[in-house]
Amino acid sequence: MTDPRRLLEEARNLGNQELDFLKKGDVDSASDLAGQRQKLMQRAFDVLDDSTRNSCADQLRELHEQLDAIMAEGRKLKSSLQADLGKVRNTGKQFKGYSMGAGIPQGNRGLYHKRG
């Protein structure tokens, strides 16, 4: 039988690596580690019984705090991405405004004349 304390410790180590990847902006690697961490935690919860639950309480609290940190880092990345997308959207509007002000035709409008 697998020791749930060892599984929770491995999950915590993976969580630390996941948090490091998120801080670096490597979302793909963090996602892979999140899947592995989830499987480890599920295995630990499957073998966790009443006698070991009390001995694992500290590890479970640490994992909860770690998950909060991972979620906070994910929110930071999300807000950063939203800000970047907003900047790109505004830049596109600016270029469209410049082209209209400079008299550059948009699309096919103005390229063809009715008179030959």
Cβ contacts of 111 within 8 Å, gap of 6 or more:
105
Measured CA distances, 30 to 15, 35, 54, 92, 112 (Å)? 9, 9, 30, 32, 53
pLDDT bucket at 90, cuts 50 / 70 / 90: confident
Give the separation between CA 107 and CA 90, rounded to whole angstroms: 20
Which of the two residues, 97 and 85, has the higher pLDDT score?
85
Which of the two residues, 101 and 91, has the higher pLDDT score?
91
**pLDDT at position 106, please?**
57
pLDDT bucket at 110, cuts 50 / 70 / 90: low
pLDDT in tens, 22-72: 999 899 999 999 999 999 999 998 988 888 888 888 999 999 999 999 999
Mean of per-residue pLDDT scores for the chain: 84
In contact, 71 and 18? CB cutoff 8 Å: no
pTM, whole model, 2 decimals?
A: 0.71
